[in-house]
């Protein structure tokens, strides 16, 4: 039986991996580990199809270690213990756990002893922030590496490489006239890209030419319904978030229902609501963050199916709230400037002075304690002199933030031009 294209062309060495140059480029962290052949436990965090499974296999291969693979969806403590016992017999083993964020605490705890004593080298893969889902004990014993979505240049290299090197496709002499549709339907997912490419090549006509129109015709025939691991996953999440941002509770409820019917983890939905409550509502309605946080805690405690009601309450409240992205814009601008001005010193009057030497150097001199002044405010410079007066937070035009604007303007007058 012929293997699928994605499996036939799975990279076996580091030099066959396309993308992730920030980790695999010359002198970068993972390349050094691979070249030295000395592995440690690690967690790969990134979107689907960027090479987490492949990278785990390549690491084990370069280190000449056996590798066992478990899926957190189907494996439990019993399977973990079986792998540990086997590793005790054959020697140190790499254990790759896909979707490790789906392991509960007891399952993760079952790994600790073997990871600590070196029986297992754990490589976990997750599409979720490991800080939320991997317990602290296991996380402290693992290095987290962030894998990035593949860029168009990477995807093009993958397509060209496959058509030139695959034993079957290279005989077809296929010409790619246009790449855009291939990239669009893959969504930056290398595995999905190869699945799309395989489907398209199987239906090519005599001229063996791939165009955007032809790719669209073929894919539209095979579009599947929502599946949390399928190609519509991120499109439905996007529609869900944008419906709330656009103040449409009806559309938001519909897209959430699609996610629920597709088997989405309710905590995943609750986390997105928590982020949105600050990113898209913020100080226009500070209660949004409180409700979203309470929603996340309740969903975690209660679980499905009852938590659907709590999610619905939160969704309709957030969608019906005034919107502001001022805090989001502010921190993005501040991070950008901080990146360019990391050499600027903290003004002397703002520095801590725990020792006599520091006091002699004027650390903390002329600092004025705001609470000792009228309205708990004193006109003091809090930014480095070089960027004095730079404004990052611009309150939006809504009732709550207009109150904040008035407060800031009363205090700072014309300094920040509120």
Q: 3-class DSSP state for residue 68? A: strand
User: Tokens 């012929």 correspond to what residue?
Assistant: 2
pLDDT at 320: 96
The DSSP output letter for 364 is T
Q: pLDDT below 50 — which residues of the chain?
A: 224-229, 231
3-state secondary structure of 211: coil
Structural domains in the chain, CATH included, are 20-146 (3.40.50.300), 152-222 (1.10.8.60), 233-319 (1.20.272.10), 344-412 (1.10.3710)
Q: Beta strand 175-176 with 209-210: parallel, antiparallel or unpaired?
A: parallel
So what's the pLDDT on residue 6? 85
pLDDT of residue 225: 41
197-226: pLDDT as tens digits: 998 898 887 888 999 988 888 887 665 444
Query: What CA–CA distance (Å, rounded) separates 138 from 10?
Result: 29
* 146: nearest Cα among 271, 34, 46: 46
The token pair that represents 172 in the structure block: 């077809």
Ramachandran sector of residue 188 (left: φ over 0; alpha: ψ -120 to 50; beta: rest): left
Residue with tokens 């790969």, as numbered in its chain: 44
The whole-number pLDDT of residue 71 equals: 84
Give me the pLDDT at residue 223, please: 52
Give residue 222's pLDDT: 62
The two tokens of residue 16 are 């066959």
Q: Determine the pLDDT at residue 157.
A: 92
Q: Which residues, including other chains, have CB under 8 Å from residue 70's CB and lie 6 or more apart?
A: 79, 80, 83, 95, 96, 97, 98
Largest CA distance in the chain: 85
CA-wise closest residue to 296 among 266, 255, 260, 332: 266
Judge contact between 24 and 17, C-beta under 8 A: yes
């Amino acid at each position: 039986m012929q293997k699928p294209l994605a499996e036939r062309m799975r990279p076996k060495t580091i030099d066959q991996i396309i993308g992730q140059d920030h980790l695999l480029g010359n002198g970068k962290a993972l390349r050094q580990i691979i070249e030295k052949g000395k592995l440690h436990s690690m967690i790969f965090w990134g979107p689907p199809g960027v090479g987490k499974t492949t990278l785990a296999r390549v690491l084990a291969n370069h280190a000449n270690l056996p590798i066992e693979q478990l899926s957190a969806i189907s494996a439990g403590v019993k399977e973990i213990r079986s792998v540990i016992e086997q590793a005790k017999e054959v020697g140190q083993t790499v254990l790759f756990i896909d979707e490790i964020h789906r392991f509960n605490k007891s399952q993760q705890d079952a790994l600790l002893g073997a990871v600590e004593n070196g029986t297992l080298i754990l490589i976990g893969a997750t599409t979720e922030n490991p800080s939320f889902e991997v317990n602290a004990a296991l996380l402290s014993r693992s290095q987290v590496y962030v894998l990035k979505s593949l860029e168009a240049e990477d995807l093009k290299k993958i397509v060209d490489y496959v058509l030139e090197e695959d034993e079957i496709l290279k005989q077809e002499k296929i010409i790619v006239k246009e790449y855009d549709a291939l990239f669009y339907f893959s969504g930056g997912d290398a595995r999905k890209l190869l699945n799309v490419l395989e489907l398209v090549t199987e239906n090519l006509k005599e001229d063996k030419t791939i165009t955007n129109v032809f790719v669209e015709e073929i894919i539209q025939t095979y579009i599947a319904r929502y599946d949390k691991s399928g190609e519509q996953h991120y499109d439905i999440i996007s529609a869900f978030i944008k419906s709330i941002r656009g103040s449409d509770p009806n559309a938001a409820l519909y897209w959430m229902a699609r996610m629920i019917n597709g088997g989405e983890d309710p905590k995943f939905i609750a986390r997105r609501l928590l982020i949105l409550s600050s990113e898209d509502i913020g100080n226009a309605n500070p209660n949004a963050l409180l409700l979203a946080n309470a929603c996340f805690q309740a969903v975690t405690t209660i679980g499905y199916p009852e938590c659907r009601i709590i999610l619905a309450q939160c969704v309709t409240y957030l969608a019906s709230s005034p919107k502001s992205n001022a805090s989001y814009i502010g921190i993005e601008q501040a991070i950008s400037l901080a990146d360019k001005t990391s050499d600027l010193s903290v003004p002397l009057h703002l520095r801590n002075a725990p020792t006599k030497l520091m006091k002699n150097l004027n650390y903390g001199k002329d600092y004025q304690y705001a609470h000792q002044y009228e309205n708990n405010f004193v006109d003091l410079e809090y930014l480095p002199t070089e960027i004095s007066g730079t404004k990052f937070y611009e309150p939006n035009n809504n009732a709550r933030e207009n109150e904040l604007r008035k407060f800031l303007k009363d205090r700072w007058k014309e300094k920040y031009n509120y």
